Copies of this chain bind each other. A is one copy, B any other.
Amino acid sequence: MFNALIRKLDCSGFLTEVDRVTLQKVTSRRREVAPKRDLILEGDRPEYVQVVLSGFACRYKLLRGGQRHIMALLVPGDFCDLHVAILGQMDHAIATLTTCTTVEVSRSTIEDLTDNHPRITRALWWATLIDEGILREWLANMGQRPADRQIAHLFCELHVRLLSVGLAGPSGFSMPLRQVDLADMLGLTPVHVNRSLQELRAAGLLTLQRRWLEVLDVDRLRTFCDFKTNYLHLTPRVDGLKT
């Protein structure tokens, strides 16, 4: 059966066939969650670590004014809260954006993996470091680029990340996120996201209809928003496209 987690960790290059089998066993207890449901709340001390196997989720914080800021997008294969094992308490919440399938892995299973499966441990460590790299890129994106390029950059990133788990074609992918979600990720208003999307369409860079994002010219879009893939630390084969 298809398993985005294995597919993703495999990108690290650390896994062997045995490891893949081990991971397969661990990810068998699945759960279906409706859109816009909280998976974990800020302050929680969960007993289980969750992994997204299908759908999109996000890390977010609610600030005093009631504004939501989304600090990370979780796509199939991503861990939700591996770090809680060490830090103890969640400093942010996680919610589904679309319908999601998740797996719960007990803390003891994680401990078993880290004790007895050094390559898997290394792959997990690798995955969290990539998440950190993405956070840094988002920071630079928000801080330095105008809205339309921010959005373009986010799409470029998403495209590559989905490619690496086999969920995107060479020039398009399913985009079930709402404009509000994009707005909350980039610190913009939905209205302005809407207008910027129109500019991107008008510039002939992409189309977005019926929840499908089609990139008309990948190179041109990447140049437009100054997108480089290095922060995703892809193995050459996954890059999907030249450069």
A interface, CB within 8 angstroms of B: 42-43, 59, 61, 63-65, 67, 69, 71-72, 83, 86-89, 91-92, 122, 125-126, 128-133, 135-140, 142-145, 184, 186-187, 226, 230-231, 233
Contacts and interface: CB of A to CB of B under 8 A. Distances in A.
Contacts of A59: 136
A210 to B, nearest CB: 29
A142 B187 CA distance: 8
A149 to B, nearest CB: 10
A1 B166 CA distance: 53
A106 B129 CA distance: 20
Nearest to A123: B86
Given A88-B233, A91-B230, A233-B89, A63 B128 contact: no
Nearest to A128: B132
B226 A129 contact: no
A86 B122 contact: yes
B138 A231 contact: no
Contacts of A144: 63, 65, 67, 69, 187
Contact of A64 (B72, B86, B186, B226): B226
A129 to B, nearest CB: 5
Given A139-B69, A139-B138, A144-B63, A230 B89 contact: yes
Contacts of A130: 87
Given A42-B230, A87-B233, A91-B231, 12 more contacts: A59-B136, A61-B140, A63-B226, A65-B144, A67-B144, A69-B144, A88-B233, A91-B133, A91-B136, A91-B230, A128-B128, A143-B184
A77 to B, nearest CB: 17
Contact of A126 (B87, B133, B231): B87
The 8 A-B pairs with the shortest beta carbon distances in the complex, nearest first, are: A143-B187, A69-B140, A91-B231, A135-B135, A64-B226, A71-B136, A83-B129, A69-B143
Contacts of A231: 91-92
A110 to B, nearest CB: 13
A141 to B, nearest CB: 9
Nearest to A90: B230
A72 to B, nearest CB: 7
Nearest to A140: B69
